[in-house]
């Protein structure tokens, strides 16, 4: 048998395969950058999910140092994700309209990996399964995530393994308040701070998404407006109700979401 050719950069990273995955639906110049940015988002989502699974496992195992190391990586991934929005904003609204109508009824709302990130991060909302009726594989993945423990479950289990009161939300809140005094269990304090940072960075990503969307489409309805309506339990918009039902309207309802609300609430009650 002939010797296998030496490994090259292109073969290792499957670069030719990657570069064959951008298929425009129109001749609009800006459609390619729109596709590339969103495909890159999905690649980062894949890595973030991989790291979140490892962080969860490390916390369950009591390896706080390992979890902190990977949480720092997760922070940087979310920061890079946020830098994708300014690239899209180089597109003028009139340029987006050249191909936007061809995207219906597809929508970023249907990103399976994004929903998986929410689920593993402690935002388990089963109603989003409604958006994946036409995607059996995606629905199956989300149902599996619904059954899995979250980062929060791992954190609470860690508190209990350390003998900390964590039998109820009130006990967890009081425990976290005490941890923030930094008199002991410094590693748990650092873990609390790293989880809050991850949550904060993701909230900033959401807020930046809203601004980008408003800049691009104003109060227009999203391309996936019917899927969104089914999930949030609203009726399809009547004439004159576009602003209420706009993509920006829905996105604004998500900006208050937090993965770890008790960690945020604890800030109110910390004393010297």
- Give the pLDDT confidence of 104-118 residue by residue, as tens digits: 888 888 899 999 999
Mean predicted confidence (pLDDT) in 56-84:
98
How confident is the model at residue 223, as a pLDDT? 61
pLDDT band at 126 (very low <50, low <70, confident <90, very high): very high
Residue that is written with structure tokens 């050719």 in the block: 5
- How wide is the angle at C-alpha 46 spanned by C-alphas 41 and 47, nearest 5°? 100
pLDDT (0 to 100) of residue 243:
42
Number of H helices and E strands in the chain, helices first, is 14, 0
> Residue 51: which H helix or E strand, with range?
helix 31-60
Share of the chain above pLDDT 70, in %: 90
Kindly give, in sequence order, each residue whose CB lies less than 8 Å from that of residue 27, ignoring residues fewer than 6 positions away: none
Q: In Å, how far from its chain's centre is CA 34?
A: 19
CA atoms within 13 A on the CB side of 259: 27
Q: What is the pLDDT of residue 125?
A: 93
For residues 138 and 31, what is the distance between their CA atoms, to the nearest angstrom? 25
Would you state the pLDDT for residue 107?
A: 85
| pLDDT tens, position by position, 229-261 | 656 665 445 554 444 456 788 889 899 999 999
Q: What is the pLDDT of residue 219?
A: 79
CA-to-CA distance for 27 and 88, rounded, in angstroms? 17
For residue 241 the two structure tokens come to 């109700």
Would you say residue 2 has pLDDT above 70? no
Average pLDDT over residues 193-197: 98
Could you tell me the pLDDT band of residue 82, with boundaries at 50, 70 and 90? very high
255, 260, 261, 264 alpha-carbon torsion, rounded to 10°: -100
- Please check the confidence at residue 262 and state whether its pLDDT lies above 60: yes
**So what's the pLDDT on residue 249?**
84
DSSP strands (E only) in the chain: none
- Confidence category of residue 1, pLDDT binned at 50, 70, 90: low
- The answer to whether the predicted template modeling score (pTM) of the entire model surpasses 0.75 is yes
The vertex-198 CA angle with 192 and 201, nearest 5°, equals 135
Average pLDDT, the chain: 91
Answer positive or negative: Cα dihedral of 238, 239, 245, 249.
Answer: negative
205 pLDDT more than 60: yes
Q: What residues contact 74, with CB distance under 8 A and at least 6 apart?
A: 48, 51, 52, 55, 198
Give residue-wise pLDDT tens across range 7-66.
999 999 999 999 999 999 999 999 999 999 999 999 999 999 999 999 999 999 999 999
16 exposure class (CB count in 10 Å sphere: 0-12, 13-18, 19+): exposed
Tell me which residue of 50, 47, 33 sits closest to 84, measured CA to CA: 33
Q: What is the pLDDT of residue 19?
A: 98
Domains and CATH numbers, the chain: 32-269 (1.20.58.480)
Question: Measuring CA to CA, which residue among 85, 168, 153 is closest to residue 123?
Answer: 153
């Amino acid at each position: 048998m002939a010797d296998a050719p030496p490994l090259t950069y292109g073969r290792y990273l499957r670069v030719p395969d990657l570069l064959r995955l951008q298929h425009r639906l129109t001749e609009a110049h800006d459609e390619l950058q729109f596709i590339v940015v969103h495909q890159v988002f999905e690649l980062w989502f894949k890595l973030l999910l991989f790291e979140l699974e490892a962080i969860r496992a490390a916390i369950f195992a009591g390896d706080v140092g390992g979890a902190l190391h990977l949480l720092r990586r997760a922070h940087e991934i979310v920061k890079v994700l946020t830098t994708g929005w300014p690239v899209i904003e180089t597109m003028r609204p009139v340029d987006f309209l050249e191909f936007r109508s061809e995207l219906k009824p597809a929508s970023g709302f249907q990103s399976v990996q994004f929903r998986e990130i929410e689920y593993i991060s402690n935002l388990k909302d089963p109603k989003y399964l409604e958006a994946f009726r036409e995607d059996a594989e995606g629905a199956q993945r989300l149902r599996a995530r619904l059954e899995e423990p979250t980062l929060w479950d791992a954190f609470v289990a860690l508190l209990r393994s350390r003998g900390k009161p964590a039998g109820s939300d009130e006990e967890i809140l009081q425990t976290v308040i005490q941890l923030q005094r930094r008199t002991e269990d410094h590693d748990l304090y650092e873990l609390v701070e790293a989880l809050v940072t991850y949550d904060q960075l993701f909230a900033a990503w959401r807020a930046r998404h809203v601004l980008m969307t408003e800049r691009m489409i104003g109060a227009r309805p999203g391309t996936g407006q019917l899927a969104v309506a089914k999930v949030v339990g609203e009726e399809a918009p009547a004439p004159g109700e576009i602003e209420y039902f706009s993509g920006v309207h829905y996105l604004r309802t998500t900006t208050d979401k937090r993965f770890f609300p008790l960690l945020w609430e604890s800030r109110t009650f910390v004393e010297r």
